[in-house]
C-alpha cells in the first residue's frame, strides 16, 4: 500500500499546502514556492506522526491527509478542534479490516483479533463515521488504534 502524505498547520516541511477561506481553497505549493496570502500554511510531516497532533481525542492543528493513486487524488481536511474517537484493537494477532478514508456504520468490523489459541474475535465500531487514521502501535503484541470521526459529535458527560 502506498503511504498517504500528512500536512500539519504550522509545521515546516519541504512540501506545503495552503488552506484558504476555511477550506474552500486548497492550494498545493510547488517545491520552493513561497506564499504571502492570509491562508493557513500546512507543512508535510511523517504520516505516522498523526497521533502527535491528537490530544484527548481532539485535533490540535488543522491537518490534511492526501492519498494519490492512479488518476485519483483523495484529500481529507481535518479541522483543529475536531473530536475523534479512538478505538484500540489488540490481540495476539490483529488483522485490520478497514483503512483510512473508509466510511463505517455502527457495528461494522474494524479488525479481526486472533488469540494465541487461534480463536477469532472482531473489533466493531460503536458509531457511524469515517476512519481518519489507522495507528500501528509497535509492541510485543500487535496493536492498532483506529481514529474515527463520528457522524455525530461525541459528548462526554
Query: Is residue 99 close enough to count as binding its own copies by CB under 8 A?
Result: yes
The C-alpha atoms of residue 18 and residue 29 are separated, in whole angstroms, by 7
Candidates 35-43, 85-93, 95-103, 114-122: pick the segment binding its own copies (CB under 8 A): 95-103
Closest to its own copies by CB, 130 or 137: 130
Strand order in the sheet with 85-90: 85-90, 143-150, 129-137, 103-104
Identify which range of 37-45, 48-56, 98-106, 117-125 contacts its own copies by CB under 8 A: 98-106
Pairing of strands 85-90, 109-114: unpaired
Q: Are strands 72-78 and 16-20 parallel, antiparallel or unpaired?
A: unpaired
CA–CA dist 115, 96 (Å, integer): 15
Is residue 132 near its own copies by the rule CB under 8 A?
A: yes
User: What residues make contact with its own copies under the rule CB under 8 A?
Assistant: 1-2, 23-28, 30, 59, 67, 69-83, 97-103, 105, 108, 128-130, 132, 149-151, 153
Amino acid at each position: 500500500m502506498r503511504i498517504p502524505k500528512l500536512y500539519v498547520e504550522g509545521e515546516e516541511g519541504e512540501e506545503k499546502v495552503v488552506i484558504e477561506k476555511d477550506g474552500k481553497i486548497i492550494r498545493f505549493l510547488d517545491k520552493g514556492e513561497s506564499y504571502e496570502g492570509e491562508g493557513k500554511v500546512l507543512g508535510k510531516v511523517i504520516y505516522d506522526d498523526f497521533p502527535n497532533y491528537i490530544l484527548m481525542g481532539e485535533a490540535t492543528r488543522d491537518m490534511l491527509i492526501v492519498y494519490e493513486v492512479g488518476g485519483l487524488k483523495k484529500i481529507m481536511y481535518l479541522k483543529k478542534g475536531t473530536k475523534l474517537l479512538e478505538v484500540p484493537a489488540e490481540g495476539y494477532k490483529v488483522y485490520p479490516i478497514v483503512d483510512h478514508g473508509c466510511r463505517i456504520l455502527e457495528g461494522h468490523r474494524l479488525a479481526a483479533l486472533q488469540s494465541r489459541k487461534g480463536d477469532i474475535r472482531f473489533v466493531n465500531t460503536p458509531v457511524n463515521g469515517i476512519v481518519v487514521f489507522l495507528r500501528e502501535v509497535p509492541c510485543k503484541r500487535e496493536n492498532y488504534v483506529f481514529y474515527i470521526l463520528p457522524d455525530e459529535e461525541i459528548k462526554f458527560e
